[in-house]
């Protein structure tokens, strides 16, 4: 980071200092301003630039390290990592929130592919492993306000994902829901799925019947609507 870049940093609110420092550096890593291999300034230099104490800087750097974005070397420079090779799924929310234009559209397509891949297989596995769980999967009430319908749709899929008894699927689901609830993903993107209660009802019935193949087909038909809308 150059002296000019340091000069562009503004002081942050005291009550959110660590989080604000983290968010600023995260944005610089994700937009490429801080490239893989770049060294970060010292804690002292960053603290002076942000007008915060070194503890806040240290906490922010610790979060960046935990996210797989930087490598902190004892007695040496803290360097930026290639997040595509070192980060985990937890980075998805921040990545979606920072993306713009064509990059955002491509990323949302990637998210839709992840949703479809996990959701389709989760529906099949729920049918095969715990079909009775689908009895609690209530279709969305079409008469409810949209925010309530969006939350009800999350609850519908939560039941099926839990029924799949796959902790990796559950963690991926949690990440996608967090991105939606934190505003990084607009739930209107899924409106075609959310507002099709008959399709949800048919899927829940297939899962409850223990029909894995039919559950897979119906889940794909529902989830791939969003993917098709995002694919040129």
62 and 45 housed in the same domain: yes
pLDDT of residue 107 exceeding 70, the answer is yes
Q: How many domains does the chain have?
A: 2
**Termini Cα distance of the chain:** 37
pLDDT of residue 5: 67
150 has pLDDT over 80: yes
User: Which domain CATH number covers 100?
Assistant: 1.20.120
What digits encode the pLDDT tens for the residues 71-89?
988 777 899 999 999 999 8
CATH number (domain holding residue 78):
1.10.10.10
Residues 131, 97 within the same domain:
yes
My answer on whether 45 and 134 are in the same domain is no
Pair 129, 172 in one domain:
yes
Last residue in a domain, options 87, 114, 137: 87
In the structure encoding, which two tokens stand for residue 197, read together?
A: 């209660």
Answer yes or no: do 193 and 109 share one domain: yes
Residue 212 and residue 112 in one domain: yes
**11 and 112 together in one domain:** no
Q: Which of 37, 53, 87 delimits the end of a domain?
A: 87
Asked if residue 232 lies in contact with residue 125, where contact means CB atoms within 8 angstroms, the answer is no
Q: Which range (5-14, 159-168, 175-184) has the least confidence?
A: 5-14
* 197 shares a domain with 182: yes
Confidence category of residue 102, pLDDT binned at 50, 70, 90 = confident
What pLDDT is attached to residue 232? 74
Instruction: Give the tokens for residue 16.
Output: 């959110």
Residues 69 and 170 in one domain: no
Query: How, if at all, do strands 79-80 and 70-71 pair?
Result: antiparallel
Cα distances (angstroms) measured from residue 190 to each of 31, 61, 119, 194, 226:
26, 35, 14, 6, 6
The reported pTM is: 0.81
pLDDT digits (tens, 9 = 90+) for 198-223: 999 999 999 999 999 999 999 999 99
**CA torsion, points 92, 123, 151, 231, in degrees to nearest 10?**
50
**Which of these three, 87, 119, 136, is where a domain ends?**
87
What is d(CA 207, CA 2) in angstroms, rounded to the nearest whole number? Answer: 57
| 2 burial via Cβ count (<10 Å: 0-12, 13-18, 19+) | exposed
Q: Is the pLDDT reported for residue 15 higher than 60?
A: no
Mean residue pLDDT of the chain comes to: 91
Neighbours of 72 (CB within 10 A): 14
Signed CA dihedral, 214, 217, 219, 225: sign only: negative
Q: Tokens in use for 6?
A: 């340091």
How high is the pLDDT of residue 19?
A: 87
Indicate the range of 25-29, 92-96, 113-117, 128-132 predicted with least confidence: 92-96
Same domain, 75 and 179: no
| Same domain, yes or no: 156 and 209 | yes
Question: For the residues 12-41, what does the mean pLDDT come to?
Answer: 85
Residue 64 has pLDDT above 70, yes or no: yes
Residue 200: domain span: 92-230
Structure tokens belonging to residue 175: 């990440």
Q: Rg of the chain over CA atoms, in angstroms? A: 21
78 and 100, same domain (yes or no) = no
């Amino acid at each position: 980071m150059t002296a000019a870049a340091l000069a562009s940093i503004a002081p942050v609110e005291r009550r959110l200092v660590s989080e604000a420092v983290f968010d600023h550096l995260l944005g610089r890593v994700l937009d490429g301003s801080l490239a893989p291999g770049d060294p970060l300034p010292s804690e002292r230099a960053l603290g002076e630039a942000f007008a915060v104490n070194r503890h806040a800087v240290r906490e922010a750097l610790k979060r960046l390290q935990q996210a797989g974005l930087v490598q902190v070397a004892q007695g040496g420079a803290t360097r930026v990592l290639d997040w595509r090779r070192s980060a985990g799924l937890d980075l998805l929310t921040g990545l979606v929130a920072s993306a713009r234009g064509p990059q955002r559209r491509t990323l949302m397509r990637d998210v839709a592919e992840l949703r479809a891949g996990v959701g389709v297989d989760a529906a099949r596995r729920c049918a095969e492993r715990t079909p009775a769980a689908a009895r609690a999967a209530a279709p969305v009430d079409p008469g409810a306000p949209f925010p309530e319908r969006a939350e009800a749709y999350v609850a519908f899929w939560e039941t099926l994902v839990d029924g799949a008894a796959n902790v990796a699927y559950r963690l991926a689901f949690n990440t996608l829901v967090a991105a939606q609830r934190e505003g990084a993903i607009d739930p209107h993107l899924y409106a075609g799925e959310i507002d099709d209660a008959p399709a949800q009802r048919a899927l829940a019935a297939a899962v409850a019947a223990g029909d894995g193949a039919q559950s897979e087909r119906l889940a794909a038909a529902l989830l791939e609507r969003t993917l098709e809308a995002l694919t040129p």
